[in-house]
A and B are shown apart, each in its own frame.
Chain A
Amino acid sequence: MNGTINGSINLIGYGLSAIGGAIGVGLVFAAYINGVARQPEAQRVLQPIAFLGLALTEALAILGLVFAFVLK
């Protein structure tokens, strides 16, 4: 085995921090699917809210990715 891998340890930290965002996005869409399953006609109302929730939750993971690249 002569192969070694170079890279930044920051990205491992980012991987760990992305767990939070992943759980948040999962919760948002779980709630959305639940809502639509119980009341299918509410889908048009719920969809923008779900994507807004996705966007707000995802913001943390995105900031994490940027900091993982920026911080040395």
Chain B
Amino acid sequence: MIALTLPAQEGGTFTPPGVSSHLPAIFSIGSFDFTKQMLLVLLSVVLIAWFFIAAGRKGQLVPGRLQFAGEMGYNFVRNSVAKDVIGGKDFVKYVPLLFTLFFFILVNNIYGAIPILQLPSFSHVGGTYLLAIVVYVIWISAGVRRNGVKFFKMAVVPSGVPWPILPLVVPIEIISNFVVRPMTHSLRLFATMLSGHLIVLIAGSGIEFLLAQEGFLLKGTSLLVLIGAVAMYMLEALIMVLQAYVFTLLTAIYIEGAIHADSH
């Protein structure tokens, strides 16, 4: 895969892989390209459905190993994300959304740490834009359903601010709540996945390049790159899980802020 995407050595200069080096499409219909990311997203749906159907099929009082793993995952999202953040009796309605988001993103991120797949699906920005748009529509509609059209006023006019400062505060609140929020929500996931993937890729092509150099010492430095790359790989594996958690947590925080807009 690396050899396909990277024209790594051209006459002794090292060309690092960048954001513009894409994998070729698997097949294309007209201008629509079916890429590896899409295949991985479809695979993730199958994997998650298979796992949780298998885990929940035999609902026993004393859970088996698979049921226990499934229950633990569900319990984590339900209690430490939905219940702790949204709270009250409103949270139950949003547990399916948060649960789906968490495991969808988690599986799609973990792809980046699996040697043959080795591509987090959300290292392409299109997927994260879509997820952020879905969340954006959901938290705004949750706020409107709970508070009526007054929700927009609640969301941009913070309570307890003296009126002379309002012309300064309201534009900032509008920009930060309705413009920058969905952008950073999607770009955070995308950027961390992209940079993690790029680091591993650059380390791989760097090792390849250094090994091709003549000179014993120069070849030897590839070993240092390998050590650094393994350390970064471990860090990335941590970040993949963390970003799935952060995305879900932020979704819960946005929903909570929308339905309790009157108390913020």
CB of B124 within 8 Å of the partner chain: no
Question: What is the 8 Å Cβ interface bit string for chain A, positions 51-72, against chain B (1 contact, 0 not)?
Answer: 1101100110011011001000
Interface residues of A in 1-46 (CB under 8 A from B): 2-8, 44
B187: contacting residue among A2, A48, A62, CB under 8 A: A62
Cα distance A65–B192 in the bound complex, in angstroms = 10
* SS class, residues of chain A in contact with chain B: helix
Question: In the complex, are the beta carbons of B187 and A3 less than 8 A apart?
Answer: no
> In the bound complex, do residue B253 and residue A3 qualify as a contact, i.e. CB atoms below 8 Å apart?
no
Neighbouring A residues of B245 by C-beta, 8 Å: 51
- Asked whether A5 lies within 8 Å of B12 as measured between CB atoms, the reply is no
Interface size on A, residues (CB 8 A): 21
Q: When the two chains form their complex, are residues B85 and A69 in contact, meaning their CB atoms are under 8 A apart?
A: no
In the complex, are the beta carbons of A62 and B191 less than 8 A apart? yes
Answer whether A6 and B191 are a contact pair too, CB < 8 Å, given A52-B253, A54-B246.
no
CA distance A21 to B187 in the complex (A): 15
Q: How far is the CA of A55 from the CA of B19 in the complex (A)?
A: 23
Residues on the A chain within 8 Å of B187, using CB: 62-63, 66
A64 to chain B, nearest CB (A): 9
What's the least CB distance linking A62 to chain B, in Å? 5
The size class of the interface chain B forms with chain A is 20 to 34
The reply to whether A3 and B84 contact each other, CB–CB distance below 8 Å, is no
With both chains docked as a complex, state the minimum distance between the C-beta of B235 and any C-beta of chain A, in angstroms: 14
Q: Give CA–CA (A63, B139) in the complex, Å.
A: 23
Q: Among A4, A6, A51, A62, find the residue whose CB has the most chain B CB atoms closer than 10 A.
A: A62
A48 to B209, CA, bound (A): 44
Q: How far is the CB of B244 from chain A (nearest CB, A)?
A: 12
B12 touches A65 (CB 8 A): no
Instruction: Determine how close the nearest CB of chain B comes to the CB of A55; give it in whole angstroms.
Output: 6
B213 within 8 A of A: yes
User: In chain B, what residue has the closest Cβ to A58?
Assistant: B188
A51 touches B13 (CB 8 A): no
Residues in A with CB closer than 8 Å to B249 are 48, 51-52, 55
Q: Does any Cβ of A come within 8 Å of B127's Cβ?
A: no
Query: Assuming the A-B contacts A4-B14, A52-B250, A55-B250, are A65 and B84 also in contact, with contact meaning beta carbons closer than 8 angstroms in the complex?
Result: no
List residues of chain B with CB within 8 A of the CB of A59: 180, 184, 188
- Asked whether A3 lies within 8 Å of B13 as measured between CB atoms, the reply is yes
Chain A residues lying within 8 Å of B250, measured Cβ to Cβ, are 51-52, 55
Asked whether B191 lies within 8 Å of A48 as measured between CB atoms, the reply is no
Binding site for B on A (CB under 8 A): 2-8, 44, 47-48, 51-52, 54-55, 58-59, 62-63, 65-66, 69
> Could you list 7 examples of A-B contacts with CB < 8 Å?
A3-B14, A7-B16, A48-B85, A51-B245, A54-B246, A58-B188, A62-B188
Q: In the complex, given contacts A3-B14, A44-B80, A69-B19, what are 11 additional A-B residue pairs having Cβ atoms less than 8 angstroms apart?
A: A4-B12, A5-B13, A5-B16, A6-B13, A6-B14, A44-B84, A48-B252, A54-B246, A59-B184, A62-B184, A65-B195
Question: 8 nearest interchain CB pairs?
Answer: A59-B184, A2-B12, A62-B191, A65-B191, A4-B13, A62-B187, A69-B19, A62-B188
